[in-house]
Amino acid sequence: MIVRTVLQIVTVKVLLKLCFAKDVIPANFVFGDSLVDAGNNNYIASLSKANFVPNGIDFGGQELGLPGFTPPYLAPTARGPVVLQGINYASGGGGILNHTGNIFGGRINFDAQLDNFENTRQDIISTIGVSATLELLQSSLFSVTMGSNDFINNYFTPIVSAEEQKLVPPQVFVASMIARFKLQLTRLYTSGARKIIVVNVGPIGCIPYERDLNPTAGTSCASRPNQLAQLFNTELRSLTKELTTGLKGSIFLYADVYRIVDDMIQNYRVYGFDSGSFACCYIAGSFGGLIPCGPSSKVCPDRSKYVFWDPYHPSDAANVIIAKRLLDGDSNDVFPINIRQLVNV
């Protein structure tokens, strides 16, 4: 009873903070892959982990008034009152399709992440009741960063996917992703989410890994992965509009990270970078993209001068630019409104 009372007090404080403070959200729920995984894969048998040096050197920074970082769902500390301020369900290697990322062994794909969110939702309901839970969720921020692995570690997996690429046309594969994604995002809405940020797939053909896998492109990005990413993104933008129109009270934001990252790559010097194509943390490859970042890797002398940290992911400096443009950017970066505007709706 004492614990229940404490949780109810915390909830009241959170809801009051929402009512009287601008640019503050009561809770932040995060779904996605390694781009936003806060440590869930540390608790499962997976090849997709980053809990070792030199990863995490520059980790830090936050906005929107939350007291700390959103904890990973599988962490022992992600229990009790902290769940009222949000949970991170993201998993490196995860995707929209359930067979995506199977080369990594353990990973938590979007369907399983939604299952985990349902567990959190039930925990909150059992603590503060149905009506307070619905109010909390409807005011909270939800973000989904999914899709890259469905291409990189599924449709374009070297050797393994060669037969699938012959049998399944790109348009059919993208259509299967969108159909599954629609069901998943609708399920998120049904579970209480109303403010939902959907991040599109970035220019995956430009990451060091894809550049090194496609040497015939020379110094250019690999065209085919980018073409499929753009095909998916076009369908995804239409889907977010459709869901916002069809699901009462919802706002699905379309975050155009492809546009933002592509702009940084094409105009890297304008942004203060020295390289828009090479990995800062590298071992082998013309672009440093052949081997994942690890303790034996070399690290560039100034990490702030690289768009890419490792073969797959943006650097901290690049992520800061992405975050700022999604928070405060115009409709070219995030549609129909930006994240800061969404918080205040």
User: How is domain 28-258+319-344 classified at the CATH fold level?
Assistant: Rossmann fold (3.40.50)
Domain map (residue ranges) of the chain: 28-258+319-344
pLDDT at 58 exceeding the cut of 90: no
99 classed as catalytic:
no
Give ∠ CA 314-180-103 in degrees, rounded to 5.
55
Provide the pLDDT for residue 68.
75
300 near 306, Cβ under 8 Å?
yes
311: amino acid identity, one letter: P
Catalytic residue among 46, 313, 316, 333: 313
What would the pLDDT profile of 67-81 be if each residue is shown by its tens digit?
778 999 999 999 999
CA 192 from centroid of its chain's CA atoms: 20
Integer Cα distance of 65 and 36 in angstroms:
19
What would the pLDDT profile of 180-200 be if each residue is shown by its tens digit?
999 999 999 999 999 999 999
Average pLDDT of the chain to the nearest whole number = 92
Catalytic residue among 33, 34, 37, 256: 34
Element (H, E) at 298: strand 298-299
What would the pLDDT profile of 96-142 be if each residue is shown by its tens digit?
999 999 999 999 999 999 999 999 999 999 999 999 999 999 999 99
Mean pLDDT of 2-22: 39
Catalytic residue among 37, 150, 310, 316: 310
Q: List the structure tokens of 106.
A: 């353990």
